[in-house]
Amino acid sequence: MASKQNKSISISKYKGKREMNIGIFLFAIVFIYLVVTVIMYFTGRQISVYEVREGSIVNDHSFTGLILREETPVTAEAGGYVSYYQNENTKVKKGANIYALSEQVLNSDNADAENETSSGALNPEVQSGIVVNIQNFNQNFNGENYSAVYSLKNEVTTSLQNALSETRTDQLSSVIESSGQKVVSYGAQKDGIVTYSVDGYESLTKDSFTESDFDRSDYESTTLEDQMKVSAGDPVYKMITSENWSVIVQLDDDTAKAMMEEETTSVRVRIDKDSETLWAGFSMIERGGKSYGCLDFTDSMIRYANERYLSVELILEDESGLKIPKSSVVEEDFFVIPQEYLTTGGNSSSRGVMVRNADGSARFQEVHIYNTTEEGEVYVSRDDMDTGSVLAKPESADTYTVEQTGSLSGVYNINRGYAVFRKVTILCESDEYYIVQEGDSYGLSNYDHIVQDGNSVNSEDVVFQ
């Protein structure tokens, strides 16, 4: 019988080829990047970034000033009851009726009823004038000059007051005719503005005021009312006879010194009462060891005819431009070379200079320009060449040895991720900020990013924002 042979089969296990998982690979790269970034952030220098914006700085000083003007109280020539022809703060001509005196109070009820219709409507000419003023205002209004609203208000108020004064005069004339009383009318002795209050300060001048006149604790003003009873010699109205008026302000030592050093002869003034801004002539008055500022105006007096004390702001500086922190500004030194030594490279539009080699040949050296002056000088980086380098003037045999240096005030711009010096022209300053000129060549622009602490970086340093 044939024997059976056992056949064994050998099975070998082969290692299969693994394929790379692209997702895991990308994740590893991103993870490593994040780890490195976090480590650099916490171990590196922390740089504060400031975004440049347009702004302004107003250097103003607030005062309560004493008003001086040409004004005279007019007294009654006889006793009786006063009736006024004019509204307060009305401009009148010489000879125009101001007030009337009667033995008894004039009854104006009947006259008021008769004139109710006419007084309730404005003269067509007055209406037309007001409409034209409003139309002109609407066409020319600029939101940045909001104080123009107050000017329009004053113009309309003056027109209405003049119209009402005419109506008031007609009404009083009708009352006098129908009263049956003996009534004596009195006219203006001069052209001027009529007001109905007195305070005893009417005679004050620039030569006679004292420090005590600024004390308002005992100040009193008497209002003169229609139909009041007066005796001969009592004040009945006040006449202001000039558009020229002055405001005297008490200056502290620092402000007085600054204005004296700057030889200030005019100053912009903002009136708090109506936010109106006016220009005033300025002069200093020294009295009793105190310094006073005298603000002289030549118009707009009627707006403040009833005021003796006026709150004002002296706008000594009002500059607009780019607003940057003071901490950003640093000083950096540069080589100063004549502008005529600048040229362009043969294979590019880069600006540079021709530097003489030891063998007499010349090579082109690109330079980084940071400022040019009206005198024809150029400020270039000190990294671009060495002290003593000899420059060859293009198309000339003239040479210039680099030695002169100059400093510029500037900040470090980091728009590109590294610190680049940009010069600044400072216009004015506050405690924490500068206003610098916008549109400077080699300067800053709105929305630029700069280093808030200029001393925390060096030029060309890489900065992570």
| pLDDT given for residue 280 in this prediction | 96
Tell me the per-residue pLDDT of 70-85, one tens digit each, with 9 for 90 and over: 999 999 999 999 989 8
Tell me the per-residue pLDDT of 305-332, one tens digit each, with 9 for 90 and over: 999 999 999 998 888 999 999 999 999 9
Tell me the per-residue pLDDT of 361-402, one tens digit each, with 9 for 90 and over: 888 999 999 999 999 999 999 999 999 999 999 888 899 999
> What gap in Å lies between CA 267 and CA 270, rounded to an integer?
10
Q: Which of the residue ranges 85-89, 103-107, 453-457 would you say has the lowest mean pLDDT?
A: 103-107
> What gap in Å lies between CA 157 and CA 126, rounded to an integer?
11
* Closest by CA position to 403, among listed 334, 332, 333, 335: 335
Q: Which of the residue ranges 27-36, 64-73, 275-284 would you say has the lowest mean pLDDT?
A: 27-36
Locate 88 and state its tokens: 């307060």
pTM over 0.75: no
pLDDT band at 157 (very low <50, low <70, confident <90, very high): low
Domains of the chain by residue range: 56-95+192-319, 107-180, 329-456
Q: Which of the residue ranges 3-7, 11-15, 270-274, 283-287 would you say has the lowest mean pLDDT?
A: 3-7
The end-to-end CA distance of the chain, in Å, is 95
> What gap in Å lies between CA 71 and CA 55, rounded to an integer?
44
The answer, yes or no, to whether residue 144 has pLDDT greater than 80, is: no
* Closest by CA position to 88, among listed 302, 310, 234: 302
Contact 69, 245 (CB under 8 A): yes
Instruction: Determine what percent of the chain is predicted with pLDDT higher than 70.
Output: 78
The answer, yes or no, to whether residue 119 has pLDDT greater than 50, is: no
